[in-house]
Chain A
């Protein structure tokens, strides 16, 4: 129908506009959420989960990638892969996510992991708009998917089928639903709206009615209920089933975000049934509400129209004049806002007011601060396309901050490496000098000499070789006496006897103690060997360190130097993308504001035309 004409006046809030609203997306779990972690066997895997459970996907991803590369999550290998895939998916990295799930499915894994992998693979395809592939993946999921993920799978399957125009199988999935009621309600709402748009009102109405009557008192359920009732009410209105439309529209909460359109619709039901006095009740309520809402704008024309039908032409004229005044003021404000958007001052404010935590779907205009600019900011943020732009803008801002932080850190790393160079140069020379001053090779040569001597003594069993200094002197003295030319002279028999006793005693002593002394000498030599080996090791380790430090520092310097231009390039790319994104948002904002202005201008023409008609009639009756 599009535009309905009632006795010359056209009401604008057409059902098509209400039903043209996009598909609702349930706040379903993010990929990989609520993992059954069990016992943590790698602390760094637990650290990844710490970020993940706080929805900090970027940190979780970065930590997981580092830990995985360093082999520190080996006890959770498969879970970690699954989590990595889920994180990539949540972070919009579909190709990487798909690679991981494909890999998980080619490796032999248990059925629970396999089911999750098929589920996430389906989700990747779904998010990329490949609904048939998504469906194929979803259908491969077995019986080991946790219930909360299975509910999401069914919802996505039904939505994918709807996207392919396959409403009957989509409905069948929702009919055999076993999952949380809220998710079912989203599915039913989407299917109901889709069927109504295909002129299958009866089937669509059945589903929308179920959602519109669902119990529950959370903000989300209230909003979903209101939205279903509004859609159904306008669908009935479109089919000229006013009797059915009114009770459905009256189910919409009076103070919810959809109340304006519901009030307008209720008024139109009465007007169509020519109950103009009755129609004025909801429209007069609307009149005092925020003028940004198209329903409120329309009520300003609807009120004098009803008054005119009630023959209260004076009041009608007065109300048309008021409407013109209000439209003019609002058009003036819109001009200022458009100018502000064009000049670039509004968008930074828009970005500042942007709050990712606030879902646009239960946006409440009455909560908006009442400054001229702020009214439009919040209204714009509620726009779907702008939301997508803002999401990218937020992501880019986060990237910029990451890059800025790294650039700062790298500067500090560079300073640190320079300081280490300085410290190295200050210590390296004195250390080298000290090492050079100790002639370790000389000690080693002496040790070798000693070892050789001991070996010779052992080979020839030279018992005197192991004599101590006193014994050695005595041995030499005895030897000298024997070698003396006068030693064989007569009269020295006693002396020679004594000499023999002494030499015999000494030989006996040295011989008796030979083994013990040899063992002692060898033990000493072993000690010496150990001490010298330790000294060599230390010298070598210092040598290695002296050699390796410059290499390590150079490697660090090289890595820093290599990464700096990359950061700079990426910073420039992010800045350019931010600028493009901001421009895109600006264009959308201007278009949105201009569309509003255009709508008001149309209303203004209608008001002037109606006013002129009233004046003409008044003049004609006077004549």
Chain B
């Protein structure tokens, strides 16, 4: 048998399998759809159960151009207690350059005064090791609290800038 004929025969024999595969493909897509719906419900359940709106606190990290700073990691302390120490992959950093925002921490805090300290490490201008901190004293009231740790470039000083911003 020739290779060409072999391929043709294989195609003919595979027709039944292809049909079967098509219906299986439909089943897979239906299952994916069901799991997506389930996932959404369960994410909501998880959030309501573990992080109710009244006590919920989220800390996000975002980045703009990043010319003067290549992020390696962020350490986060809340009221003096380390709550997160995150090491970023190149892929994650790239996703942040493109506009992605990373949720570094999701937890609970009582209403009242609190302090957040974030320590950023990475490579600064001229590839030098760089470590900077940023602090925020904030009030937690009833309702979710969002805090954004923003890394941006300060063009005039040719240095990175680390800002902490509260969102309501």
Residues of A that sit less than 8 Å from B by CB: 2-3, 10, 12-14, 16-17, 20, 34-35, 37-38, 40, 43, 45-47, 49-54, 58, 61-63, 65-66, 69-70, 91-94, 96, 294, 298, 385, 388-389, 392, 395-396, 399, 402-403, 406, 409-410, 413, 416-417, 556, 559-560, 563, 566-567, 570, 573-574, 577, 580-581, 584, 587-588, 591-592, 595, 598-599, 602
Query: 0/1 per residue, B80-120, Cβ < 8 Å to A?
Result: 00000000000110111011111100000000000000000
In the bound complex, CA of A70 to CA of B39 (Å): 14
Stretch at the interface among B2-10, B67-75, B123-131, B152-160: B2-10
Say yes or no: is B58 at the interface (Cβ < 8 Å to chain A): yes
In the bound complex, CA of A17 to CA of B49 (Å): 60
Say yes or no: is B24 at the interface (Cβ < 8 Å to chain A): yes
Say yes or no: is B142 at the interface (Cβ < 8 Å to chain A): no
Chain B contacts for A46, CB-based, 8 A: 60, 62, 99-101
Chain B contacts for A40, CB-based, 8 A: 62, 99, 101
Chain A contacts for B98, CB-based, 8 A: 34, 37, 49, 53
Query: 0/1 per residue, B13-53, Cβ < 8 Å to A?
Result: 11001101100110111011111101111111111111000
B144 to chain A, nearest CB (A): 9
In the bound complex, CA of A20 to CA of B12 (Å): 14
Chain B contacts for A53, CB-based, 8 A: 94-95, 98-100
Tell me if B4 and A602 are in contact (CB < 8 A).
no
Interface of A is mostly: helix
Tell me how many residues of B have a C-beta within 8 Å of chain A.
57
In the complex, which of the residues B40, B49, B102 contacts A66, with contact meaning CB atoms closer than 8 Å? B40
Tell me if B102 and A47 are in contact (CB < 8 A).
yes
Chain A contacts for B60, CB-based, 8 A: 43, 46-47
Chain B contacts for A599, CB-based, 8 A: 1, 3, 6
Tell me if B102 and A587 are in contact (CB < 8 A).
no
Tell me if B4 and A16 are in contact (CB < 8 A).
yes
Tell me if A395 and B32 are in contact (CB < 8 A).
yes
Tell me if A385 and B21 are in contact (CB < 8 A).
yes
In the complex, which of the residues A58, A70, A93 contacts B44, with contact meaning CB atoms closer than 8 Å? A70
Q: If the complex has contacts A46-B60, A49-B100, A591-B14, are A2 and B5 also in contact, measured as CB distance less than 8 A?
A: yes
In the bound complex, CA of A294 to CA of B7 (Å): 12
In the bound complex, CA of A94 to CA of B28 (Å): 13
Chain B contacts for A91, CB-based, 8 A: 32, 36
Tell me if B29 and A388 are in contact (CB < 8 A).
no
Chain B contacts for A50, CB-based, 8 A: 92, 95-96, 100-103
Question: Can you spell out 15 A-B residue pairs with CB atoms less than 8 angstroms apart?
Answer: A14-B2, A17-B4, A46-B60, A46-B99, A49-B98, A52-B100, A53-B94, A294-B3, A385-B18, A392-B25, A396-B31, A399-B31, A580-B24, A591-B10, A599-B1
B36 to chain A, nearest CB (A): 6
Q: If the complex has contacts A385-B18, A584-B21, A595-B10, are A43 and B38 also in contact, measured as CB distance less than 8 A?
A: no
B142 to chain A, nearest CB (A): 13
Residue in chain A with minimal CB distance to B148: A43
B74 to chain A, nearest CB (A): 14
Chain B contacts for A93, CB-based, 8 A: 29, 32-33, 36
Tell me if B36 and A65 are in contact (CB < 8 A).
yes
Residue in chain B with minimal CB distance to A395: B28
Tell me if A92 and B29 are in contact (CB < 8 A).
yes
Chain B contacts for A588, CB-based, 8 A: 14, 17
Chain A contacts for B32, CB-based, 8 A: 91-93, 395, 399
Q: If the complex has contacts A12-B3, A20-B4, A62-B40, are A570 and B148 also in contact, measured as CB distance less than 8 A?
A: no
B101 to chain A, nearest CB (A): 3
Chain B contacts for A402, CB-based, 8 A: 35, 39
Tell me if A563 and B38 are in contact (CB < 8 A).
yes
In the complex, which of the residues A3, A20, A595 contacts B9, with contact meaning CB atoms closer than 8 Å? A595
B37 to chain A, nearest CB (A): 8
Q: If the complex has contacts A563-B38, A577-B28, are A66 and B14 also in contact, measured as CB distance less than 8 A?
A: no
Q: If the complex has contacts A46-B62, A395-B28, are A592 and B36 also in contact, measured as CB distance less than 8 A?
A: no
Tell me if A563 and B41 are in contact (CB < 8 A).
yes
Residue in chain A with minimal CB distance to B47: A66
A261 to chain B, nearest CB (A): 10
Tell me if A403 and B35 are in contact (CB < 8 A).
yes
A350 to chain B, nearest CB (A): 16
Chain A contacts for B41, CB-based, 8 A: 559, 563
Chain A contacts for B148, CB-based, 8 A: 43
Tell me if A54 and B95 are in contact (CB < 8 A).
yes
In the bound complex, CA of A595 to CA of B6 (Å): 7
In the bound complex, CA of A436 to CA of B3 (Å): 91
In the complex, which of the residues B24, B33, B35, B94 contacts A581, with contact meaning CB atoms closer than 8 Å? B24
**9 closest A-B pairs (Cβ-Cβ)?**
A46-B101, A50-B100, A37-B99, A17-B4, A53-B95, A14-B4, A12-B2, A49-B100, A65-B40
